[in-house]
Homo-oligomer: A and B are copies of this chain.
C-alpha cells in the first residue's frame, strides 16, 4: 500500500503552526508497513486541494488528509474530497447524536456552524471519539481509499489510534520493522564514519543517521514478509552497531533520554532532587513529564538568584563573591546543599550562562557547570556549548544533566569528553 499524506490549512503554509500531524501519521503508517511516498501541504483552497488529490491518486492507493473538518467557514476538506470522489454529503444521524450530547455535556452552546459537522459522505466509514467535535471518515472509491481526519493534533491522534489504525491494520501484506538508536555525546559525522562499511553494504536492513539538537540517531529498518523476519534482520544489525557505539547509545527504542532516566529511577527506587539555575526548572519540568515519577522525584529548587542559592541550598556567600555563581565550586555546593536538605539519593545541580546576555571573556555565554551528588561523592562537570541560542544552551544543559545521572546510577564512567567541547574536563569524583 502506497500512501500520500495531505495536510490542509492556510495556517500551515503561512507558518502559523507546525505540522505535527503529518509526523504522527507517517510514524503510524510506517509501523503498519505502509510506505509514505509523499507529503503535501495545501491551503484551504478548493482548487489546489483538488489538484493535489488528483496527483496523489496517480501514485498512491491510500490518501490521508488532516485539517479542514472544523465547524468554521474556511473548513472545506470534506466538501472537496466528497466532490472529488463523486460522493454526496448526507446528514449522519449517529454523528449528529454524539455531537449534540458532547456539546451538552460540556455545557457548550451548539453553535450554528456545528451543524455542518455531521454532514458526511454517504458511503463513508465514520470515525468519532469524544475528543473534539469534528468526525473523521474513510471512503473507498475505484481502488483509492481517502481518509479525512481533523486538524487539531489531540483530536487527530486520538482518532487515529482508536479508529484509523485498526481500520488499516486489516489490509497489510508486508511489514516494516525498525529500531531507532538514540545517541548522545557523538556527532552525526563521527557516528557515520564509525558505521561507514555497514552503511556502504546496506540493502535490507537500511541504516540512516540523523542529527538532532545536540543528539543524533541511527534508524535501522527492514521490510519483510513477516514481522519476525524483519525483526531478526534489524536485531542482527543493531548488535553490530552496538559494538561500535557502545554506551553512547542511550536508547534502542527511540525514547527520549528523559524517559530512559525517569524509568530507571522509578524501577530502581532511586530518589532524585534537583537544583537549577540557568535551566530555570526545565530539568524538573522535563523529568516530571514521565508518568509515575512522583514515586521518586522528591523536590526541585530553581535558585535563579544568589540569595536563593544561599537560602535554599546553603551556598556560601564568600564562594559566590570569589568564584561567581557560574563556577564548579558553586555547582558542587548546590548539589551538596540539596542533598543535606532533601536526603535524595541523587542530587543534581546546574549553574551556567544561558544567554543571550551575561557573558564575559572569562565566562562566556554557554559556560555551564553540572554538579551531581550520589553515593557520598560529588562530581562536577564543565560544559562549553557552541551557544547557538538561549534555548539550545538550556536544552543541552538538561540533556547533559540527564546523561550524567544516567551514567552515575548505572555505575558507568561519566563522559570525560564533551560533544561540543573536547577540552571540557570533568573534575573527578572525590
Interface residues of A (CB under 8 A from B): 7, 9-20, 22-30, 36-44, 48, 52, 55, 70-74, 106-109, 111-114, 131, 133, 151-154, 158, 178, 180, 187-190, 192-193, 196, 199-200, 208-213, 217, 219, 221, 254, 274, 276, 279-289, 291-294, 297-305, 307-308, 311-312, 341-342, 355-358, 386, 388-392, 394, 420, 422-423
Considering the complex, give the chain B residue whose CB is closest to the CB of A305: B298
Interface SS, A side: mixed
Contacts A72-B209, A113-B192 given; does A308 touch B298 at CB 8 Å: yes
Q: Give the residue of B276, B300, B301, B357 whose beta carbon is less than 8 angstroms from that of A280.
A: B300
Considering the complex, give the chain B residue whose CB is closest to the CB of A154: B388
A16 to B189, CA, bound (A): 19
A111 to B152, CA, bound (A): 44
With a cutoff of 8 Å between Cβ atoms, the chain B residues found around residue A311 in the complex are: 341
B41 to A38, Cβ gap below 8 A?
yes
Contacts A210-B11, A357-B291 given; does A16 touch B217 at CB 8 Å: yes
A288 to B282, Cβ gap below 8 A?
yes
With a cutoff of 8 Å between Cβ atoms, the chain B residues found around residue A17 in the complex are: 23, 210, 212
A59 to B285, CA, bound (A): 46
A422 to B287, Cβ gap below 8 A?
no
A189 to B18, Cβ gap below 8 A?
no
6 closest Cβ pairs, A-B complex: A280-B288, A281-B284, A15-B27, A300-B302, A15-B26, A39-B41
Q: Give the residue of B44, B72, B284, B293 whose beta carbon is less than 8 angstroms from that of A192.
A: B72
Considering the complex, give the chain B residue whose CB is closest to the CB of A389: B154
Q: Give the residue of B14, B151, B213, B389 whose beta carbon is less than 8 angstroms from that of A221.
A: B14
A274 to B24, CA, bound (A): 34
A268 to B428, CA, bound (A): 44
Contacts A113-B193, A304-B299 given; does A27 touch B16 at CB 8 Å: yes
With a cutoff of 8 Å between Cβ atoms, the chain B residues found around residue A131 in the complex are: 386, 388
Q: Give the residue of B189, B196, B199, B299 whose beta carbon is less than 8 angstroms from that of A108.
A: B189
A304 to B312, Cβ gap below 8 A?
no
Quick one: which of A37, A288, A386, A394 has the most chain B CB within 10 A? A288
With a cutoff of 8 Å between Cβ atoms, the chain B residues found around residue A274 in the complex are: 302
B14 to A178, Cβ gap below 8 A?
yes
A90 to B211, CA, bound (A): 26
B304 to A208, Cβ gap below 8 A?
no
Quick one: which of A25, A74, A284 has the most chain B CB within 10 A? A284
A289 to B280, Cβ gap below 8 A?
yes
Contacts A16-B27, A72-B192 given; does A284 touch B302 at CB 8 Å: yes
A23 to B27, Cβ gap below 8 A?
no
B55 to A39, Cβ gap below 8 A?
no
Contacts A48-B37, A298-B305, A304-B288 given; does A153 touch B213 at CB 8 Å: yes
CB distance from A403 to the nearest CB of B (A): 18
A19 to B16, Cβ gap below 8 A?
no
Contacts A111-B190, A153-B213, A280-B297 given; does A27 touch B14 at CB 8 Å: yes
Q: A13-B36, A283-B285, A311-B341 are in contact. List 19 more A-B contacts (CB 8 A).
A: A7-B39, A12-B39, A13-B26, A14-B221, A15-B28, A16-B27, A16-B210, A16-B219, A22-B41, A71-B192, A73-B200, A108-B190, A153-B213, A276-B281, A281-B285, A281-B287, A282-B288, A288-B302, A289-B390
